Amino acid sequence: MFDAILQNVTRYVSLTEGEKEKFTSALQPKKLLKHQYLVQAGEACRYECYVNKGCLRQYYVDDGGHEHIIMFAIEDWWTSDMHSLVTGNKALTNIDALENSELLLIERTMFERLLSEIPKLERHFRMMLQRAFISHQRRLIENMSLPADQRYSRFLIQYPQLEPRIPQKLIASFLGITPESLSRIRRSSEVWGRPAAFLIIIDQFNFLS
């Protein structure tokens, strides 16, 4: 149950058995069926969430009722409504399960206490946040500088593990385009093949992982 998450948090730092024990005892296992919510907009998000198995999405619903996917989270990724978690304010986003999922939750105050008591854990999460920050910057740059078809190509190369398990309409939402547009993009790329992958710089930063 805790093997994967322990490997995750010891990616950059090493923990003693005692520290591992302390850490895992703070974890709350939770199962989520497909379509169930982890966080709903309007309520506070009180947990950091590690995905042991399954797939979640975080999305924002705008005034026009349109959904915008902020991120996905599959095995070994973390997710939460960070804004709500940090401020205690009501969440602006929803997080729900795209598949039946198994999660490990850490309650907010417990998380802070753990990080205070185990500086190496604080270090791990600082480094993870750096990577998430980089990942978001890359996505921002791509959204601003690339047309929709190239954003899709980049997505396929950056997240090959996501494409087969996520419905197209959600990928479209993640890319910031309509399902109709993505369908048209896919049709034309069938004819022309994939854009030159070698031109593209792939980095190893997948949001919160």
Partner DNA sequence: CGTCTATTTGAATGTACTCAAAAGCGGTGG
Partner DNA sequence: CCACCGCTTTTGAGTACATTCAAATAGACG
Q: Which residues contact 176 (CB under 8 A, 6 or more apart)?
A: 68, 143, 148, 151
Of the candidate residues 123, 169, 184, 186, the single one contacting a second copy (CB under 8 A) = 123
83 binds, options a second copy, DNA, none, Cβ within 5 to 8 A by partner type: a second copy
Candidates 25, 36, 87, 183; binder of a second copy (CB under 8 A) is 87
Which residues are within 8 A (CB) of 1 and not within 5 positions of it... i.e. 6 or more apart?
Answer: 29, 52, 104
Q: Which does 60 bind (CB under 5 to 8 A by kind): a second copy, DNA, none?
A: a second copy
User: Which residues share a beta bridge with 102?
Assistant: 31, 53
| Closer Cβ to DNA, 17 or 62, answer by number | 62
User: Considering the rule CB under 8 A, would residue 129 count as an interface residue with a second copy?
Assistant: yes
Which spans of this chain sit near DNA (rule: CB under 7 A)? Answer: 66, 147-149, 167-169, 176-184, 186-187
Residue 13 three-state SS = coil
Instruction: Please compute Rg for the chain using Cα positions.
Output: 18
Pairing of strands 101-107, 94-97: unpaired
Judging by beta carbons within 10 Å of its beta carbon (0-12, 13-18, 19+), is residue 22 exposed, middle or buried?
middle
Q: Does 28 participate in binding a second copy (rule CB under 8 A)?
A: no
Query: Is 169 one of the binding residues for a second copy (CB under 8 A)?
Result: no
Beta carbon of residue 82, minimum distance to a second copy (angstroms, whole number): 5
Calpha distance 167→1 (Å, rounded): 28
Task: Tell me which residues touch a second copy (CB under 8 A).
Answer: 60, 62, 66, 68, 70, 82-83, 86-87, 92, 115-116, 119, 122-123, 125-126, 129-134, 136-141, 143-146, 176, 201, 203, 205
